[in-house]
Structure 1
Amino acid sequence: MPPAAVGLWRVLTLLAARVTELDKDDLSAGEFLERRSKVLERRQFAPDDIEKYFGRYPGRFDLFDRERPWLQDPRLATECSATSGLNRIVFGRSSGNNQVWLGHHTDLAPRPVPAAEGAWHLLATLYYGPSGRCTTRTVKGRSEGNTAAGPLRSGLSCHPVGKNLFESLIAGIPVPDDGDEYRDNAEDEAPWEADGLGDPLRGPAPLRGMARVLAGRFQHAVLLTPDPSGKQVVDATMTWAWRTKGNEGLDPYLIYQTNKKGEPYPRQASATRATWRDLDALLLDSDEQHHRPAVLSAVQYLPPETVQHMRVRVFGFDQDGQTRDRQFFTQTTPPVLRWLQERDPAFAYGVGRVRDAAERVGRNLTQALKAAWALQADPADDGMHAPSRLDGGPGPWVAAADGRYWPAAERVFWDVLRRAEQATEADGDPLAVFQEAPARFVQEAERAYDDIADQVDARTHGRMTRALARYRGRLRSGI
């Protein structure tokens, strides 16, 4: 499932960096890129390097190891007076006093999950777990029962995808961050690499390097309980990991936006927003409004034959900051990284203009239908003046029109990009193709608008018909 896949991609990327020595914090950006090119030329991981790495950590990748279960804290068995219940960490199940929804699961009789699926839910909890109330944990006489949210909660994680897993992982390794130099030369260790478990009351060690970024910002502590055979997970404990927050920094796979204070914050995932509507934020270099995922900036230095077929896999989880999980999703784009701004600036800016035109028309559609609904509901409507107020609800027409417009707009978007690329290959001007896009989006908006109007019987709902007719022209505003 997508939230587990995001965690697995990060863990595998860190392991790939370890066995190829692309994780060395003394590498400059130029040295990193040179070494990465040599690694890609081998087209596979060196078996001896893999054996050497895992040989240093026997038992650390055992999900149910007694002393150091993978990515878990065995101290919870004694520091928590009760478990949290298996349903607490299995995504999609209700727990506590919540109503049964997607499946008939109750805490009175939790259904065990296979150990492999337990590992998925462990990863999903560590990266996307909720904030707020959790199982009480007592450490050195201090009892607390609340936690901060997981580091990726509500985020939109974007990963370059090549022809195979090897190419994808190598392309996804972040360039070393020189901004970590102030961290007192602390050892860069993943949780399974550390000799001991950290002090929960002091907070995580100020790690530097890739381990901090990829697997060093968890806010939850989890312990899975296996059945006697070790083949299933039958119970789980989830609680707080630290009392002080640490290991801050920007995640290299997230799109960041900038608030009014100039501070970056992750773009929120939305189940109602398709990936193509964020494509220009992946292709265009960072500006005052957004910051491209840092890992994609390094893709420009890959060999052209590699970049030519590279796609982007996007994982999203539509959640609030606390406990509400709405929907997780994933989508893989066509090969779009060949259009990065640094490689094809004219095309990348064209993508941005086309996407912006689709958004403007979509806003016009929403505003026109909202105004029409307000007008037909206004008792003072005389057919001549605007509605007295527009601060009410959007009415039923907006959602219905969105369901028609946005899928059609996506088809137009990819068709425009395909035709623009064909024009480029034929030594033509893609700009002319890009300039056609606004009119095509308006046509789709008008179709959606007219579908709504056709469902209104003018004989019995004259006010609705008149209101819809009045605002149809707004679809072309600013286009």
Structure 2
Amino acid sequence: MNLFDEPWIPVRWLPGRDGPACIGLRDLLGRCQDIEALDVPLAAAQSALLRVLYALTARVTGLDEDPKLDWIGRREDILKGCALPQKGIEDYVSRWRDRFFLFDDVTGRPWLQDVRLADECTESSGVNKLVMTRPSGNNHAWFIHARDSTPHSPSAGTAVLYLLMWHYYGAPGKCTARTLHGERISEAKRGPLHGSLSYHPEGHSLLVTLLAGLVRPAPEVQREEDLCSWEQDKPADPAGAPPVPVGPCGWWTNTSRHALLLQPDARGEHVTDARITWAYRLPGVFDDPYLIWERKLVKKKQREEAVRSARPAKANRALWRDLDGLLRHQPPEAQGEQTTVEPPKVFDTAVELTDQLRVRALGFDQNKAKNTQFVSGLTPATVGHLTDQLAEAQVAVGRLRRLGERYGENLTEAVRKAWVLYTRGDPKQAGKLVPQAEALYWPAAEREFWARFDRLDRTGESPDGGLDIRAARDAFLRLAREAYAHTTDPLTHTVRGNQAVLEARGLLWMTRPQRKNK
């Protein structure tokens, strides 16, 4: 199975454009102007695949280098041509096609795999370990029930998606033992995107999406040094430190901390077994232009130290609540907070391509012990107008988001307080009241947020970005009051319960959310 030629990527075509449900990499690059978007059902796999596609797009367009500082103009010319250069696609495919076989016993370089594992791993991990949505070993079932004794073999195309997920979202900890210099080691580092949520600009076609998602390389970056993992002459040494990429292509494709080897059936149509283990013994550095990075001041040995970490993926957190992380201009009231936010670097240049961009959020809510849920979201409104020239609009978005957050947190505190006053119990054991109140408030607050977001000023002429602060505050407060009344209504049927509800109700008007340690 050659990934350039065989169909394995699910896509959604633009209206009036016909094509198969799945295509290979060659057709995807050649017809991306006719494709609306990727149709990959697994959010983490789509996030990983996009990074591979960014690297391929940069290679075939020559946007992997910027020696003459004309990168922006060259990207705009490609968009005006309404297609990626066909010659660039064919040249790259002809040069690297042999490295894109999923199963390759001839050259010994199957795509994103390490053939050394056939000798260094005496035990296999099993196909259920490869498919992250299945339970393996003694783990609990997540999506489906499966047994290691009778595993169902995934198709080769499906296996590629899970191969990508392991390279980017692989879990740390115990793994299949790998023997190195006579020593058996079974401890893996976490994948570069493990537990994170990444943000990608998305246009009206896949062509726009791929071009907008590119990151401008530094002038000194050279493609001969900024290599993708499949372009390296030989596999990296697992005993050494992970390579530190020198440019975008390396950051997109060469940061994995896991090594895999897939075993096909006799026809090469399905994967029947897999070896999944660690790739490097030593820790490495990691950066990513699609993550929101947070810096928090943490006390260590009687001094404060800034700790930088990616904002994690949360299955119960809507995309609009993280929109502040995309803003380069924060509200003045955000200054002085202990946590500072670094927006994804990709948006520095994405909005210069077109102002008709939405944001696709893709991630995996997971920790070291378990995988919880895939996270996916798409802004219903374009955010391309949030440029440096419209600072007031960005400030307005930040304030609107903070208002929605404030009254949602006030609602949580009020419901918890009412329950404590009524039962005289532990506030952490507020039964089903708090989740019920949050289930009522947050979806309604999300609709309110986007409705007001659509009415913000896009010209830079209106003061405060066109945001009516008083009206927005009243709207979110009204939603909180309605959710509070509906949730606490069962408590009001007794005198003590009614008094508790009335006393706690005042917390809805708090100007600041109550600190959790109080």
**Which of residues 159, 169, 173 in structure 2 aligns to 1:118?**
159
- Secondary structure of 1:337 counterpart: coil
- State the match for 1:212 in structure 2: 250
What is aligned with 2:102?
63
Deviation at 1:233, TM superposition (A): 0.8
How far apart are residue 193 of structure 1 and its match? 0.7
Supply the distance in 1 between the matched residues of 2:218 and 2:413 (Cα, whole angstroms): 44
Tell me: CA distance 1:332–1:101, structure 2 relative to 1, closer, same or farther (3 Å).
closer
* Sequence identity (%): 38
- Residues 37, 186 of structure 1: CA spacing in aligned structure 2 closer, same or farther, 3 A cutoff? closer
Corresponding position of 1:356: 402
1:308-323 aligned within 5 A: 309-320=356-367, 322-323=368-369
* Aligned pairs for 1:277-288 within 5 A: 277-285=321-329
Q: Do the aligned partners of residues 429 and 104 (structure 1) sit closer, same or farther apart at CA in structure 2, a change above 3 Å counting?
A: closer
**Does 2:270 correspond to 1:262?**
no
Instruction: Write the mapping of 1:46-445 to structure 2, written as runs, cut at 5 A.
Output: 46-66=85-105, 67-177=108-218, 187-246=225-284, 248-260=285-297, 261-285=305-329, 289-302=340-353, 306-307=354-355, 309-320=356-367, 322-378=368-424, 392-421=428-457, 431=466, 433-445=468-480
Q: Say yes or no: does 1:471 pair with 2:508.
A: no
2:487 aligns with 452
- Partner SS state of residue 133, structure 1: strand
How many Å apart are 1:395 and its aligned residue? Answer: 3.5
- Letter of the aligned partner of 2:265 in structure 1? D
- Following superposition, the deviation at residue 462 of structure 1 comes to 3.3
Matched AA of 1:133:
K
Q: What SS does structure 1 have at the residue aligned with 2:103?
A: coil
For residue 291 of structure 1, what is the amino acid of its counterpart? E
1:321-376 C-alpha deviation (Å, 9 max, x unpaired):
x1311110211113432331414222211111011011111111111111121222
**What per-residue deviation string (whole Å, max 9, x for no partner) do you get for residues 150-198 of structure 1?**
10011111111112111111111111147x88x9x98221111111111
What is the alpha-carbon distance in structure 2 between the residues aligned to residue 205 and residue 101 of structure 1? Answer: 34
Q: Which runs of 5+ in 2 are unaligned?
A: 1-41, 298-304, 513-518
Code of the aligned partner of 2:405: E
State the AA in 2 paired with 1:257: E
Query: Does the CA contact (< 8 Å) of 1:147 and 1:219 recur in 2?
Result: yes
RMSD: 2.3
The one-letter code of the counterpart of 1:378 is: R
> How much does 1:96 deviate?
0.6
Q: Which amino acid aligns with 1:132?
A: G
Q: What is the one-letter code of the residue matched to 2:446?
A: E
Distance in 2 of aligned mates of 1:269 and 1:187: 33
Q: Is this contact kept in 2: 1:258–1:289, CA < 8 A?
A: yes
Q: Is the 8 A contact 1:145 1:240 kept in 2?
A: yes
Q: Kindly provide the amino acid, as one letter, of the partner of residue 350 in structure 1.
A: A
Shift of 1:43: 1.8
Contact 2:294/2:340 (CA < 8 Å) preserved in 1? yes
| Conserved 8 A contact 2:415-2:488 | no
CA contact (8 A) 1:319 1:326 kept: yes
> What is residue 77 of structure 2 aligned with on the other side?
38
Runs (5+) with no aligned partner, structure 1: 380-389
Question: Please, which moves more after superposition, 324-333 or 257-266?
Answer: 257-266
Deviation at 1:464, TM superposition (A): 2.5
Cα distance 1:426–1:208, how it changes in 2: closer, same or farther (>3 A)?
closer
Change (3 A) 1:105 1:432: closer
AA partner of residue 310 (structure 1): L
2:448 & 2:235 partners in 1: Cα distance?
A: 53
In the aligned structure 1, how far is the partner of 2:385 from the partner of 2:444?
23
Alignment partners' CA distance in 1, 2:363 and 2:134: 19
**Partner deviation per Cα, 1:267-299 (whole Å, 9 max, x = no partner):** 011011100111122133488710000001112
User: CA-to-partner distance for each residue in 1:442-462, whole Å, 9 max, x for gaps?
Assistant: 10001000001223351xx43
SS in 1 for 2:177: strand
Aligned amino acid, residue 311 of structure 1 = R
> How many residue pairs align between the two structures?
455
Superposition deviation, residue 224 in structure 1: 0.9
Q: Which residue of 2 aligns with 1:462?
A: 495
Aligned to 1:13: 54
Q: Which AA in structure 2 matches 1:270? A: K
What is the Cα deviation at residue 433 of structure 1? 2.8
Taking the aligned partners of 1:425 and 1:257, their CA distance within structure 2 comes to 29
The Cα of 1:263 is off from its aligned counterpart by 3.3
- TM value normalised by structure 2: 0.83
SS at match of 1:455: helix
- Whether contact under 8 Å (2:320, 2:446) holds in the other structure is yes
SS in 2 for 1:224: strand
